[in-house]
Copies of this chain bind each other. A is one copy, B any other.
Amino acid sequence: MIGDKGKDWHKVMVSKENPRPGGRSARVQAAVHQAVRDMLAGMNRADVTIPLIAQRANVTPSTIYRRWGDLQELLADVAASHLQPETEPPKTGSARNDLQAWAEQYADEMSSGAGRQMIRDVLAVSDSANAEKCCIYTQQQLRVIVARAQERGEAFPTLTELMDYVVSPIMYRILFDQVPSNDYVRGLVSRVMPEKTD
């Protein structure tokens, strides 16, 4: 039947999400997220409070408290949803170049003031669900590059090796040390690639 009038496709689609994702609830979530992003961009972090966010989102503070609990959790939620990459790693000539380009961009994004802060926000919450999400996003990106290499028959590190020897050092430096330079990132890539002229 063509005009099936599907009566419950969305019920299935979102079955694992919030029990009542329709209309208003979704609007509130969007408005609150947007308000947080705007305020984070335009003012001192310490001045961002839940009452202010609520005002800007045209929502009652108690709504935010009931849905998110406290500011930290809200910030972590917003940060995690922005750490999700929206595009695949760009294709270059080779898998190796794909990796290098991806790693440099990853390091750049995460090193920026906004990126660093988002990571901190995600990690600040004791429930590590958001942190794991970030890890999974990264792995998804890398899996694409690994798959391309396989298709072409190029020798390539495993996903685990990439996480351990490229992603981890970048993230450690961003969090604990000074931000990684492009040269540093290129060095990490060289280290995990099978011998090559470089």
Contact = CB atoms under 8 A, between A and B. Distances in A.
Interface stretch (A58-66, A127-135, A142-150): A127-135
Given A165-B165, A169-B168, A172-B167, A124 B123 contact: yes
B126 A176 contact: no
Contact of A172 (B117, B124, B168): B168
Number of identical protomers: 2
A37 interface: no
A45 interface: yes
A175 to B, nearest CB: 6
A120 interface: yes
A164 B169 contact: yes
27 contacts: A45-B126, A72-B124, A120-B123, A120-B126, A123-B123, A123-B124, A123-B175, A124-B124, A131-B175, A131-B176, A134-B176, A135-B177, A163-B172, A164-B165, A164-B169, A164-B172, A164-B188, A165-B165, A168-B168, A168-B169, A168-B171, A168-B172, A168-B173, A169-B169, A171-B175, A171-B176, A172-B172
